[in-house]
Amino acid sequence: MWAVAPPAHERRPLVTSPRVRPHLPARPLWRCRVCAASWLCSPARLALRYEYAEDPVALAIYLNLQLFDAAADLHRLNPHGGPDPKTLFERFLAWTHRHSPPSRSGEARIRSACMVSVAAGIVCAVTTPQERDEFERMRLVEQIEKDRQIIASYEENMMFYRIRIEENRYALGRLDERLGA
Amino acid sequence: MSGWEPDVSMSADEHIRAMREALVAEHESRIAEVQRWADEASDDWHRRWHLDHVARLRAMRYPWQADREAEAAA
């Protein structure tokens, strides 16, 4: 299923907001910068499907360019054992043709669009229940990690205040010594 | 799904940032207060005592600075 993309001038970059990193490739390995999976990872595909929902030709052109660059990089890294053209084609392009194009009917479009909001408020098209589950799982894991970060930050700050108490006690001790003397 | 790890390093959470900013602001105001005591001290011993206290407070490393320095040292 395809989601309805907003007009071009309202589009945001790939699955990204100020607080969410885009799932982009790290070259020359062509692994996702965020999840380290082989690019295109699932979130990247979801983002691209959303981004180019109204323009699959542009998506194909974009992915062709990426495929060209990836083939060059991966061949340079591993001239004898790099991925063959068929594998690269499957990885970069074939997946875009496995889904039907977007419906042009307004109601059908709304019915068929399976939208899931991402943690930062971005809306992303999800194609299968499994992808939706994976997406939800990623969001929850990220939330748990954020909570852990906050707790760690509280603990660090608590330690800082404890050290400061010791500094004040040291100053107090010097004053008490003088008073005692 | 397997192998996916959240990107912890980049999620500089607003909440954590606000806590850090509050800590820095509070610590700086504490230092300023002790510095003012030093300025207002009526004799040398108390002035030096306050200034020593200020120096010790200024020497304290914020937790995130300490982490960065430890990483750099490693």
Token pair of B56, please?
């010790």
At residue A99 the predicted structure's pLDDT band, cuts being 50, 70 and 90, is low
Nearest to A145 among B8, B19, B27 (CB): B8
Nearest to A164 among B7, B52, B60 (CB): B60
My answer on whether omega of the bond before A40 falls inside 30° of 0, hence cis, is yes
Answer whether A164 sits within 8 Å of B57, measured CB to CB: yes
Q: Which residues of A97-117 are buried (b: 16+ CB within 10 A; e: fewer)?
A: eeeeebbeeeeebeeebbebe
- A 10 A CB-CB count for B42 gives 7
Nearest Cα of chain B lies from the Cα of A64 at a distance, in angstroms, of 26
A32-56 per-position pLDDT tens digit: 877 777 888 878 888 888 778 778 8
Greatest pairwise CA separation for chain A in angstroms: 92
As beta bridge partners, residue A105 has none
Rounded to 5 degrees, what are φ and ψ at A75? Answer: -70, -40
- The pLDDT of residue A10 is 54
**Length of chain B measured in residues:** 74
Residue A125 has pLDDT above 70, yes or no: no
At residue B59 the predicted structure's pLDDT band, cuts being 50, 70 and 90, is very high
Whether the full predicted model's pTM is greater than 0.90, yes or no, is: no
Please state the separation of Cα A132 from the chain's center in Å. Answer: 14
Chain B residues touching A135 at Cβ < 8 A? none
At residue B55 the predicted structure's pLDDT band, cuts being 50, 70 and 90, is very high
A134-157 per-position pLDDT tens digit: 777 877 887 788 788 888 889 989
- The pLDDT of residue A104 is 42
